Amino acid sequence: MDGMRGPTFNLMIQFKHNPDYTKALLTLQDKLMCKGTLKMDIGEVDDPNEELFFFPLQVSFDVKGYFSAAMVDYRERLERQAREEIVKRQLRKGREEKKRARKAREIIKKCTSLVEKLTLDLSLISSSEVCMKHRPTELCHDGAKLAVEKITDTCRNYQASMVVVTEKDLADMTKTLKKVVTHAKKCVKQAVALADKVMVAKTMALPTLERALVDNGCELFFERLVASGYVDLEGVTLLAPVDDAFLGEGLEGFDEECFGVHVIDGPYNTGDMLQLNGGYTQPRSENERHTIRTRMDLGGRFTFWLKGDSEPRRLVKAIKPDVNVGGGTVVHVVDKILHPSDAL
């Protein structure tokens, strides 16, 4: 279009399909029209000359019915359905988040109830002077108390943040709480078991250490304990060799180093030694190569050997296990003497 100045645009006008309107528009079709001054969102064009729009009027009809009432209703219905679907998704998302938050609160509530129960169990131990004077029970009680406090701290942290938006967040929280709860329950159970043994030993008419060893054929071992000043042992586990184990060597065959592996702090039955720490129990000897390994064969017979043994193993068999003695001591009568110096 010669002489056209300024930008151009398309103007779409919707009108009722009326013969008069149609005739008027067809008459103006292809006529050059101009009107108005160019204005933009940023204001009028900085030009002293007036900017005019020149455009030929082109007429076309809605032969496809795009602007028909039915099509307009159809488009409005689609838009309305799209908006409703968005609202539904938002409501569904909100409900799922509330459900996860509610489940998280229920888990924390269960953990809080469990903490109260475990705390009560520990308070019964701490209130017993007999149990708290027993060093292994006291240490076990203190460790269990720390484990229970960790449950409380973990629950408090989740309550403060309460960031449970996705299923992954809920799964992570559940996994973390399950881990600390399992550990705390295990610690409390061990503390209660030790306390029960101490109380049973205190209340039951159990034999003295001397009587238990002499009656089970370990008189020489008792003499060795007396000679070394270990006769007042309480609340420990003893691997007591029978008198036949001293044949050919006498009391000198059981040297001071042997006490490091034949005396274990804490009263442990063979079942405890088999299950705790994968069957490994550390005796009084601090050398890790002197750790006592407990195993049970298919016939139910227990054996003990030093973890650091070379071949052949320095192994002893339990002739009579789980002999409870006054003072909370447990004696396991064995057939031989364990010599730590032989463990290479």
What does the pLDDT look like over 31-56, one tens digit per residue?
A: 555 544 444 343 444 445 544 445 56
267 near 212, Cβ under 8 Å? no
Q: Residue 273 and residue 219: Cα distance in Å, rounded?
A: 25
What does the pLDDT look like over 267-283, one tens digit per residue?
A: 999 988 988 888 889 89
Residue 344 pLDDT exceeds 90: no
What does the pLDDT look like over 153-165, one tens digit per residue?
A: 998 888 877 665 6
What share of the chain in percent tops pLDDT 70? 73
Strand pairing class (32-34; 236-241): unpaired
pLDDT for 183? 93
Taking residue 305's Cβ as centre, other Cβ atoms within 10 Å add up to: 19
What does the pLDDT look like over 165-212, one tens digit per residue?
A: 678 888 888 899 999 999 999 999 999 988 888 887 776 667 888 989
CATH class, domain 209-342, is: mainly beta
Residue 264 pLDDT exceeds 70: yes
- Spacing of C-alpha 110 from chain mean position: 15
pLDDT for 166? 78
pLDDT for 58? 60
- Spacing of C-alpha 309 from chain mean position: 36
What does the pLDDT look like over 52-75, one tens digit per residue?
A: 445 565 656 566 666 667 877 888
CA proximity to 302, closest of 268, 327, 328: 268
What share of the chain in percent tops pLDDT 90? 25
CA proximity to 206, closest of 342, 128, 323, 297: 323
- Matching residue, tokens 């027993």: 134
217 near 333, Cβ under 8 Å? yes
Q: Residue 65 and residue 337: Cα distance in Å, rounded?
A: 105
pLDDT for 37? 43
pLDDT for 27? 63
240 near 221, Cβ under 8 Å? yes
Average confidence score pLDDT of the chain: 79
Q: What is the mean pLDDT of residues 75-94?
A: 89
CA proximity to 335, closest of 244, 266, 255, 264: 244
Provide the residue type at 173 as one letter.
M
CA proximity to 238, closest of 215, 207, 270, 276: 270
pLDDT for 307? 76
- When pLDDT is cut at 50, 70 and 90, the band that residue 24 belongs to is low
Domain regions of the chain by residue span: 93-203, 209-342
pLDDT for 148? 93
Q: How buried is 30 (Cβ within 10 angstroms: 0-12 exposed, 13-18 middle, 19+ buried)?
A: exposed
Q: Residue 243 and residue 23: Cα distance in Å, rounded?
A: 130
283 near 292, Cβ under 8 Å? yes
- Matching residue, tokens 């973990």: 154
207 near 213, Cβ under 8 Å? no
User: What are the phi and psi torsion angles at 195 (to 5°)?
Assistant: -65, -40
Q: Where are the alpha helices (DSSP H) in the chain?
A: 19-28, 69-126, 129-133, 135-161, 167-203, 209-215, 219-228, 256-262, 270-275
Global confidence as pTM:
0.45
